[in-house]
Amino acid sequence: MVHNEEKNLTIEKVGKEKGVATPINDIVVEIIKGIENGKYEYEAKNIELFRK
């Protein structure tokens, strides 16, 4: 089974290859990576990142 993070990274990669913008997915990937590397905390306020 493919995990959600893998799906999101695949969407990001294919979107770039095909020239298709994936802004919502890009934010999801940013949040996931940010939580993993300590840039963001795992908390509901990360939803504010979608208001950029």
Tell me: the pLDDT tens digits for 2-20? 567 778 778 888 999 999 9
Cite the DSSP H helix spans in 1-52.
4-18, 23-37
Rounded average pLDDT over 11-34: 90
Q: Whole-angstrom Cα distance, residue 39 to residue 15? A: 25
Percent of the chain at pLDDT above 70? 92
Q: Is the pLDDT of residue 52 over 80?
A: no
Q: Whole-angstrom Cα distance, residue 44 to residue 42? A: 7
Which amino acid type is present at position 15?
Answer: G
Is-above-0.85 flag for pTM? Answer: no
pLDDT of residue 2: 52
Q: Is the pLDDT of residue 1 over 50?
A: no
